[in-house]
Amino acid sequence: MSKKSNDVLPVDYFLGCDVAKRKLDVALINKQSVVLWNDTITNEEVAIAEFWLTLTGALAGESVAGVVESTGTYHQAFAATSHSLGIPCLVYNPLITKSGIKSTVRGKKTDRTDAIIIARMGLRGEGRLYSPEPFMATRHYARGCQKLSILSSSFSQYKSHITDLLDGELTDDAMEVLEGIKQAIKEARAQLNKDMAASAKGPLFTRLQTIPGVGPFVANSIIGEIQTMERFKSAHSLTAYAGLDPKIFKSGESLNRTGRLTKRGSVYLRRSVFIAASVARQFDPKFKALYDKKRAEGKPYTVATCVVARKLLSVVRAVWLSEKDYDISLWPDD
């Protein structure tokens, strides 16, 4: 952002919110950056709404904005609830701003000191103003399909295992229950796939499927997880959101890549893109050449496929922003 958030948002206070799965650490500062108060609340919409109503009532008509670090999904309740109450909320990505909170990037537990730093980032002008995401239903359907797919595979393994162990001893009633569970999972997947297919139909859905390896499910999953490509100012920031960027450790003045993925951000996007990459590297010459190059360098299958997945995600960004079907001219430079 070229302008400071307190220029764009003429507010008296900034509430920094450091997010964890089940709780939020919050800290309130004024325009002089003085910390006035901090607390911990439950990370659920009802608790957040009650908190906001209490705080705004105590401020007696003075204005306040929320500031929250983008965490993939855990910040959504805070941002969405703030918006529904008419309270502006700034969302920032520490990997994009390059001045975030080291403890959250490294995966350590949140604390109130982080909430204070986040509040001050809002005061400095970091972040984008939150607005409702256009494909929330698609996200929920796609995630549900992924979860049911995993559940179906796990249950099939469990059913085979218990059948082998109790060969000839399972009653007809027990077998009927097991088959009923399997059928219920199958029907639930079919319904979710049907609902998902109707939720994101449009030019973008069709256009993404021109990319090698991207079918209807992966296209829906990508749309649901990304929502708006304008959030990501570079291919690197999108790769980081998918957790496909390599871990980096700093020792003194040197930076060392571990070869392992950070796996932060959206696991659902990471799985979908990996699926697409594993198909693309088999049938598309460009992606196959990249995969073969990495394998020739001695990289194992998973590492080489992750390299393909990173390139494919860059292609997704190029196709999305260009509003054109995929062709070689949209292949991003290294």
Q: How far is CA 50 from the centre of its chain?
A: 26
pLDDT average, residue stretch 281-298: 96
Residues of the chain with pLDDT > 90, as a percent, come to: 57
For the chain, the domains span 5-129, 136-199, 207-330
pLDDT in tens, 190-232: 999 888 888 877 899 999 999 999 999 999 999 999 988 988 8
Question: Could you tell me the two tokens for 3?
Answer: 């302008």
In this prediction, residues 17-34 reach a mean pLDDT of 93
- Is pTM beyond 0.85? Reply is no
Q: How far is CA 178 from CA 156, 161, 184, 299, in A?
A: 10, 12, 10, 41
Name the residue among 251, 232, 229 with its Cα closest to residue 240: 232
Q: What's residue 248's pLDDT? A: 54
Residue 60: pLDDT band with limits 50, 70, 90: confident
Q: Give me the pLDDT at residue 97, please.
A: 41
Look up residue 98 and give its DSSP letter. S
Note the pLDDT of residue 263.
66
H and E: helices and strands count for the chain? 14, 8
How many percent of the chain have pLDDT more than 70? Answer: 86
pLDDT of residue 274: 96
Nearest alpha-carbon partner for 235 in 330, 314, 326, 323: 314
Indicate the pLDDT class of residue 16, thresholds 50, 70 and 90.
very high
Return the pLDDT at 128: 84
- The pLDDT value recorded for residue 332 is 82
Q: Give the domain 5-129 fold.
A: Nucleotidyltransferase; domain 5 (3.30.420)
List of residues 6+ apart from 149 with CB closer than 8 A: 189
- Pairing verdict, β 89-92 and 128-129: antiparallel
Helices 285-296 and 267-283: angle between axes, nearest 10 degrees: 100
